[in-house]
Each structure stands twice: as structure tokens, then as C-alpha cells.
Chains A and B, each alone.
Chain A
Amino acid sequence: MATDTGLERPDRPAAAPAFQPLSTGRKLKDNLATVLVCLAFLVAVVPLVWVVVTVVGRGIGAIVSADWWGRSLSGVLPESFAGGVYHAIYGTLIQALIAGVIAVPIGILAAVYLVEYGRGRLAKTTSFMVDILAGVPSIVAALFIFAAFISILGAQQSAFMVSLALVLLMLPVVIRNTEEMLRLVPDELREASYALGIPKWKTILRIVLPTALSGTVTGIMLALARVMGETAPVLVLVGYSQSINFDPFSGNMASLPLLMFSELSNPEPAGQFRIWGAALTLILIIMILQLGASVVSRFSAISK
């Protein structure tokens, strides 16, 4: 700085210039690293783009027709390019919805217990169980529901059984995510509330949960999106139906993964056509959920 001000600084030795040009060796390494990183990025992105392009390219033809969204495959011959998949869309949505209705309250309550009340043995055990549950493959969850409800309790195969299996898959995701969000709420807010003479349960309900709300909702939407594509439970726990069935508690019910699976055995081009259409539809639904999730978290970011 001495030269800047023009002042002599006799107490300091004249320093070498602080910034020396990069040596060629370092430049080379730098470039090499950049190239490697870009290559890795491409390797990761190419298959993704490929999948999207393929699915959109082959599926778009199916989903642009109005029938696709408004009719079922009831009475449609395997080789005919007709009918729609609204029965399967309904199935996918209702199964995920029922799973959510069961899993979300249980998951949130469990997370509240773990974060706000859990001390000692029971909390540790619960936490451990959640970890185990998170590692359970979907086929095992489906078989468990089959064994417990259908073999032992004598229930019939139905969409509701699928929902129960989805609950098992959703629960650990919801619990872990909500737990994380609750832990992000600073203790100072809890103390501020206690200091006003507000009881603990009310503090949790009115201060802690609203503060953690957006993150929790985002997590729930992502969990829902994830279970919508699960195939093992629908293969094991419900029969396929070509026509609409509104009753989740009895009878066969289609869903998008199940429809794709059953059309796989259709050798006609129309089968392929429907599979790609259903794939694209599923991706669209999941994308809408994820967009919704990011909108929710965006909105709450503003209110901060």
C-alpha cells in the first residue's frame, strides 16, 4: 500500500509483488481439472436428457388426445389406438392420496415426538426403527402388507392395500424430513414462547410447526412424488383393471405403473404407444408435484 499513498514505510522491507503470474504447471492442472469436471457433468447429464427426450418423443403422441385424459381402456382392443388412461391416473392419485392421509399425520407426530419430547430409550428405538424402515425395499413392504393383511387377516386385494404399502415407504421419508425441519427451528423461538407463559404443546402447534411448515410440506410433496412411481406394491397388492374403479377398498384398480406393466405383454404397437404415454403422464404428474414443492418453499422464503 506504501506506493498507493506515496508514503515511505522504512519500517517494512520492500515486499515482492503480492500477486505473481500463475506458473504453467498450475495453469495446466487448472485446465485439466476444468475439463474433467465438465466431462463428468456431461456423462451425468447425457443419460438424463436422453431419457427425457425419448419419453417425450414417444409419449407425446398419446397424451395430446383429449380421450387420453378423459376415458379408460374399457372395451378397447389391444391393437386399437383408442381410449385413455384416466382410470390409471385416478388410481395413481387416489392410492398416493390415501397413503399421504395416513402417513403424513403419523409421520409429523412421530417427528414432533422425536424432536420435542424424545429422550432416552424409546426415542432411540424409534429413531433406529425409522432408519430400518427407510432401508426396506418396496417389494418387501408390499410382501409384508400381503402377509399381514391378506394372508393373516384375510383382507382382499385392493387399492387400499397398495396405499398401506406406500405408507410404509413414505413414513421414514416424512419423519426424517420433518425431523430435520423441526431441528432447524431455533431453540430461541421455543424459549421466547415459553417465556410468554405459553405451554409446550401450544408452542409446538402454534410456533414451531408453522415455522417449519414450508420445509415440511415440500418434503411431503417429494415423498408423494416418489411413491407414485412405485411398482412393486401395485403388482403384489391389487389386480389390473381396464376400466375405472372409484372404490379403493375393493376390486381391481389400474394405476400408471400397473398399466405400463400390463401393456408390456401386449405385442401390438398400440401397447408401446400406451406405455410411453403413461410414462410421460407419470413424469408430468411428478413434475407438477415437484414444482408445487418448490413454489411452497419459494413463498415461505419471501415471508422470512
Chain B
Amino acid sequence: MAKRLDLKAVDIYYGDFHAVQDVNLSVAPRSVTSFIGPSGCGKSTVLRTLNRMHEEIPGARVDGEVLLDGEDIYDRGSDAVAVRRTIGMVFQRPNPFPTMSIRDNVVAGLKLQGVHDKKKLDEVCEASLRGANLWKEVSGRLDKPGGGLSGGQQQRLCIARAIAVAPDVLLMDEPCSALDPISTLAIEDLIADLKKEYTIVIVTHNMQQAARVSDQTAFFNLEATGKPGKLVEIDDTSTIFSNPTEQATEDYISGRFG
């Protein structure tokens, strides 16, 4: 199920603006990779190129290769919709569909892909909610609107929705930035669980979180505003946090930044 990701010489643009330059990195299957770095250095941008969400922005484009188990997802023959079925995404702000119940939110992906078998949908719904650690809290009110949950519950609902379509890779852009410490912890535990089945890439501003959840950490930086962001260094999380190769990484991690 879980697949590996390789980025080769990836350059990302917003129109004329060169946002990220020359990224090379690999993500192993069944591992967690976290992206850290100052605001505006292009972490979200890189993450969004991994499931071709970047191209939804007018004028945006990507050069280089993004390989999913060796296949270039930007190949002319590949379809953005198919790519996104394989590579799911959880956003910074929880965004359940407001017109749908909790159950419909979870199975929205399957339903809209044409699965109508009620039994199957119910099974997936329960399994995904259990997977997202939300089942106990909502099992009694699956028909209530998804927007009626707390922020942390909504975020876990979004995670359930993302895993319900059984992707191979899960991308998360600051999934805890709007959450309290307890919900954050719940989601971190969840990431540790999900790692058994998925390849996970997570963007975070929280160093402790990166240290807690990830196997591998990538540090992005920006030389100056208006210049493209770059991948400074990527290594095992323990190495990055204890003994980074680059001075810039050490400065950023120890808070001696800028």
C-alpha cells in the first residue's frame, strides 16, 4: 500500500515568482517526514506539489520530477485526479463539508467516486473514524452536521475523510496549528498509528512535534525575501535535532534565527 516518494530537481513557480528552488529528497514508505522552516520558505508549496494541488492556482507550475514509486506524477499521461486519489491531504484549517452529515463527510470521497453500496460505506465510515480516533465521540450522532464538532474533532474528521479513500500517501499541512494541546496529542498519536500503513509528510512549526512524530526532518530556508526557498538539509530527525550538518539548521532549531 504505502509508497515511496522521490523529488528530483524540483522547481516551483507562482507565475513569474520562483517560490522554491531545486528540491531533492526521498520519503520512504511507512515513515513520517516533517518539513520545518521559517514562514514563507515554501513548505506548503512543496507539500502541495506532491499531490498536484499546486496547479489549481492560476499561473502556477512545477519543473523537475516527482516520483511516486518511480512513476512521475507530472508525466503527461498521468491524471491529477488519479494522483490525488493516491495521495491524500489534510489541511491547516479543518474544512468539513458544511452541507453534509458526519457520516457523509467521511465517505464523501467514496460516494463521489461512485461507490453506493450502503454496507460498504458504513464499514468504511466506522473504520475510518476509528482510524482517526474519533469513533467513540461521534458514533451516536453520525447524522448530525460535521460543522457541529469542535475544532479538534473536525480536524480528526478531516483525517478520517482523507483515509477513507485509502490513499498511499498522506500529506498534512500544519494539521495541529488550530488545536489545543490535548487534540494535538490525539493527532500525534494518530500519526504514529497511521505510519504503520501510510507514508506521511507533515508540515509543522512546532519543533517538539517534528521531533516527536517524524523519522526524518527536512529543513527549508529562505535566503532573503523575494528569493526562492531552498531545502537546506534533510536527515534523520535525531540527527537534525542533535547534530545538524548546516549552521543554518542549528540556528533555526535552537531559536537563534534571523
Q: Give the most central of B83, B84, B91: most A CB within 10 Å.
A: B84
Q: Which residues of A contact B109 (CB under 8 A)?
A: 196-198
Total residues of chain A contacting the partner, CB 8 A: 22
Taking beta carbons and an 8 Å cutoff, which residues of B are in contact with A?
51, 53, 56, 58, 81-86, 88-89, 91, 93, 95, 97-99, 108-109, 112-113, 145, 147, 158, 161-162, 165
Is A105's beta carbon under 8 Å from chain B?
no
If A119-B58, A197-B84, A304-B145 touch, does A202 touch B112 (CB 8 Å cutoff)? yes
Q: Which residues of B contact A196 (CB under 8 A)?
A: 84-85, 88, 108-109, 112, 161-162, 165
Q: Which residues of A contact B91 (CB under 8 A)?
A: 188, 191-192, 195
Q: Which residues of A contact B113 (CB under 8 A)?
A: 197-198
In chain A, residues 164-212, which have Cβ atoms closer than 8 Å to a Cβ of chain B?
Answer: 186, 188-199, 202, 206-207, 210-211
Q: Give the most central of A186, A196, A198: most B CB within 10 Å.
A: A196
A-B contact count (CB 8 A): 73
Q: How far is the CA of A258 from the CA of B84 in the complex (A)?
A: 58
Q: Looking at the complex, which one of B56, B99, B112, B162 makes contact with A191 (CB distance below 8 Å)?
A: B56
Q: How far is the CB of B113 from chain A (nearest CB, A)?
A: 7
What are 17 pairs between A and B in contact, CB < 8 Å?
A189-B98, A190-B56, A191-B95, A192-B97, A192-B161, A193-B112, A196-B108, A197-B81, A197-B109, A198-B109, A198-B112, A202-B112, A207-B108, A210-B99, A211-B98, A303-B98, A304-B98
Q: How far is the CB of A195 from chain B (nearest CB, A)?
A: 4
Q: How far is the CB of A273 from chain B (nearest CB, A)?
A: 49
Q: How far is the CB of A245 from chain B (nearest CB, A)?
A: 42
What does DSSP make chain A's interface, helix, strand, loop or mixed? helix
What 6 A-B pairs are tightest by C-beta distance, nearest first?
A197-B85, A196-B109, A195-B89, A188-B95, A197-B84, A210-B99
Q: Which residues of B contact A190 (CB under 8 A)?
A: 56
Q: Which residues of A contact B81 (CB under 8 A)?
A: 194, 197-199
19 additional A-B pairs beyond A191-B56, A196-B108, A198-B112, beta carbons within 8 Å, are A189-B97, A191-B53, A191-B91, A194-B53, A194-B56, A194-B81, A195-B89, A196-B165, A197-B83, A197-B85, A197-B109, A198-B108, A198-B109, A199-B81, A207-B99, A207-B108, A211-B97, A303-B99, A303-B145
Q: How far is the CA of A189 from the CA of B96 in the complex (A)?
A: 7
